[in-house]
Structure 1
Amino acid sequence: MTMTDGGAGTSARVAARVRDLTKTYGKGDAMVRALDGVSLDLVAGEFTAIMGPSGSGKSTLMHCCAALDTATSGEVFLGDRELGRLKDKELTRLRRDEIGFVFQSFNLVPTLSAEENIVLPQSIARRKPDREWFDTVIETVGIRDRLSHRPNQLSGGQQQRVAIARALVGRPAIVFADEPTGNLDSQSGAEVLDLLRRSAADHGQTIVMVTHDPVAASYTDRVVFLADGRIVDELRRPDREGVLEVMARMSAPLAADAER
């Protein structure tokens, strides 16, 4: 199944494109096909969720799109650049300058303040952040009164807000979020998801989130479902019930196989 325009029409600008992507591990009888011919467009300014059962290939797909892993075959484009054609230094620069990351485990430097963590990528690149945009991001994530605090002085939700600010402050072309609410309570998780949604809606940020949570997926503009390394369905303007319905439909063949 091929998804090419994200359901948003041919006039929508595409932030990233995946074409016939395959990723295998091992050889012979032990070979595992993590991705099996995936084609997908990620529309600029949209919040997209990637869902699927464990082993469906969702994390592998995100890692290939984010230049953290290399596909066995197929193509990944960020804008007009095909990642497979870039040299190591170019990939490093691309990950630093044009891709933002938000992880389940926050990945903050414990000895740095919140503000120092936020501007760390710019500091490494020896660039000063755009102060006007920095202020906009800080207001959006709501942590101005916590900028001098270190991670151990912040709640989990506040740490994830810092991580999101770090991902946004460099104005990347695309932000990848890997289970960003996995270590948060339900209230903090809802606040983080609302923040990601507003980052897309209000600031035109392109966000791709891997999640297993139907509630988290309901905050997005679009949900793409993977099974056995293939795209099997998608929803636009999803709600929790619609996501659960697709997931139940996907799990029905697995349940039937288990009964045999």
Structure 2
Amino acid sequence: MTSAHSRHETGYPPHGLPPAAAAVDLTKVHCGGAGEVTALDHVTVSFHKGQFTAIMGPSGSGKSTLMQCLAGLDSPTSGSVRIGDQELSRLSDRQLTQLRRERIGFVFQAFHLLPTLTVAENITLPLVIAGRRPAPEWLDQVITALGLTQRLTHRPGQLSGGQQQRVACARALAGRPQIIFADEPTGNLDSRSGAEVLSLLTQLVRHMGQTIVMVTHDPVAATYADRVVFLADGRIVDEIRQPDTDQVLERMKQFDLPGGAPGR
């Protein structure tokens, strides 16, 4: 184990850069027929520019809820969320939609590509909907980096799963977002295609300065990240920097042991 967080705060700013996204004292309570369920319990965490972070934890630990709150897809019960210097709670619904379009990219387990559109049309669709023109040089750089130059006229049904996820990554990058949130991006892929996509995400961080936050249950996928943040019962309980598979597996095993979530 690498660190037990005395203040339940995790994150470090490489080269003194400000965070691309941050949560402070974030709490999310779901109310339903079974009563209140605390999905996030006073979480404070930062995700810095040019960094690839994986979020892991047992089922129901709050991983997806944290990502959804950070990305402005869900509203916290209390606490604050920032994308760059923008506090999300101060935005109207229209402003929040605009922020998601202009500053955030999304990659999901399901590729969400439109089958009747070509690869090129799928990549630029969010920009077209937003009434924005893609920057040609940036778009060419993204398409080249993701190995899609020879696939632009193809339709999704003509591509493998790994190629479709590359298109989804290109679509997320097309608007030059400040941060990309990826929710189980290799969940629908075989191991080889998953490794290709993860390698590409790593290259985007290393060579294009992209910031990526990925929710995953896969210890191997997590090792592609610069840093792994662990959640349990809605709280951040540990992190590993420059992780390897053995470290991640060992940490995940401890969630099955009594008292396996340090700091609780």
TM-score, structure 1 normalization: 0.94
Q: How does 1:46-195 map to 2 (within 5 A)?
A: 46-195=51-200
Instruction: Say which of 30, 33, 41 aligns to 1:36.
Output: 41
Name the CA distance, whole Å, in 2 between partners of 1:60 and 1:150. Answer: 33
Cα deviation per residue 1:85-128 (whole Å; 9 max; x = unaligned)?
A: 10011001001111000010001111110100000111112221
Name the CA distance, whole Å, in 1 between partners of 2:68 and 2:49. Answer: 18
Name the CA distance, whole Å, in 2 between partners of 1:137 and 1:184. Answer: 21
Q: 1:234 to 1:5 in 2, by over 3 A?
A: closer
Q: Which amino acid aligns with 2:117?
A: L
After superposition, the CA RMSD in angstroms is: 1.6
Query: Could you tell me whether the CA contact under 8 Å between 1:221 and 1:237 is conserved in 2?
Result: yes
Secondary structure of 2:257's counterpart equals helix
Q: Report the counterpart of residue 228 of structure 1 in structure 2.
A: 233
Query: Could you tell me whether the CA contact under 8 Å between 2:12 and 2:46 is conserved in 1?
Result: no
Query: Could you tell me whether the CA contact under 8 Å between 1:111 and 1:150 is conserved in 2?
Result: yes
Secondary structure of 2:113's counterpart equals coil
Query: Could you tell me whether the CA contact under 8 Å between 2:20 and 2:47 is conserved in 1?
Result: yes
Query: Could you tell me whether the CA contact under 8 Å between 1:114 and 1:162 is conserved in 2?
Result: yes
Query: Could you tell me whether the CA contact under 8 Å between 2:51 and 2:226 is conserved in 1?
Result: yes
Name the CA distance, whole Å, in 2 between partners of 1:20 and 1:93. Answer: 25
Cα deviation per residue 1:139-158 (whole Å; 9 max; x = unaligned)?
A: 11001111111111111000
Q: Report the counterpart of residue 31 of structure 2 in structure 1.
A: 26
Query: Could you tell me whether the CA contact under 8 Å between 1:7 and 1:236 is conserved in 2?
Result: no
Q: Report the counterpart of residue 203 of structure 1 in structure 2.
A: 208
Query: Could you tell me whether the CA contact under 8 Å between 1:3 and 1:41 is conserved in 2?
Result: no
Query: How many residues were matched structurally?
Result: 255
Determine which structure has the larger helix proportion and give its number.
1
Name the CA distance, whole Å, in 2 between partners of 1:122 and 1:36. Answer: 36
Gaps of 5+ in 1: 256-260
Name the CA distance, whole Å, in 2 between partners of 1:4 and 1:206. Answer: 19
Q: Which amino acid aligns with 1:26?
A: C
Secondary structure of 2:198's counterpart equals helix
The range that moved more, 41-50 or 2-11, is: 2-11
Q: Which amino acid aligns with 2:23?
A: V
Query: Could you tell me whether the CA contact under 8 Å between 2:227 and 2:243 is conserved in 1?
Result: yes
Q: CA deviation at 1:244?
A: 0.7
TM-score, structure 2 normalization: 0.93
Query: Could you tell me whether the CA contact under 8 Å between 1:177 and 1:208 is conserved in 2?
Result: yes
Query: Could you tell me whether the CA contact under 8 Å between 2:8 and 2:44 is conserved in 1?
Result: yes
Name the CA distance, whole Å, in 1 between partners of 2:201 and 2:236. Answer: 24
Moved over 6 A (4+): none
Name the CA distance, whole Å, in 1 between partners of 2:180 and 2:214. Answer: 8
Among the aligned pairs, what percent are the same residue?
61
